[in-house]
Amino acid sequence: MIRVCPSCGAKNRVPPSRLHKHPKCGRCGEPLVFDAPVEVGEAEFDALVSEASIPVLVDFWAPWCGPCRAVAPELARLAKEKAGKVLVAKVNTDQAPRVARRFDITGIPALLLFRNGNVVERVSGAMPAAAIAQRFGL
Ligand SMILES: [Zn+2]
């Protein structure tokens, strides 16, 4: 995953397997905090959820879905509050239909929590950040 350093603007490549190690910017040493949802495509999906060293909460969404737009700021809040503890990822089901099919996504938004590549919990529908955290035990 590429993370732009908030301090110096350098692009850093952070392997998902090092997410728990408090990654720092290679140029200036500033901590690289994944405190916002990251977009994940079909090509990166499997590697991310299987290699990530922290749980990954995946939001399956689409641009035309109203409840998805409603839950987006809640997920952004959760990503900020739980940075370093959980990675919030977003999968656009229009662009990644095969991933959506593999995980039986029939309605969106659908939130799936992955640990070590396995789905450990899933819920459908929009809800506030606090309710999401409680539902997934984050
Ligand atoms: Zn930097």
| DSSP code at position 54 | S
- Local structure of 48: helix, strand or coil: helix
Question: Which two three-digit tokens encode residue 79?
Answer: 């990503």
Q: Which residues are catalytic?
A: 65, 68
All structural domains of the chain:
1-33 (2.30.30.380), 34-136 (3.40.30.10)
C-alpha 113 to ligand 1 mean position (Å)? 30
Are 95 and 41 contacting, i.e. CB atoms less than 8 angstroms apart? yes
Q: What is the pLDDT of residues 90-109, one digit of tens each?
A: 999 999 999 999 999 999 99
pTM of the predicted model as reported, rounded to 2 decimal places: 0.94
Q: What is the pLDDT of residues 22-51, one digit of tens each?
A: 999 999 999 999 999 999 999 999 999 999
C-alpha 1 to ligand 1 mean position (Å)? 16
Contacts with 10 (C-beta within 8 Å, 6 or more apart), sequence order: 4, 25, 26, 27, 28
Residues with CB under 5 A from ligand 1 (ion): 5, 7-8, 10, 25, 27-28, 30
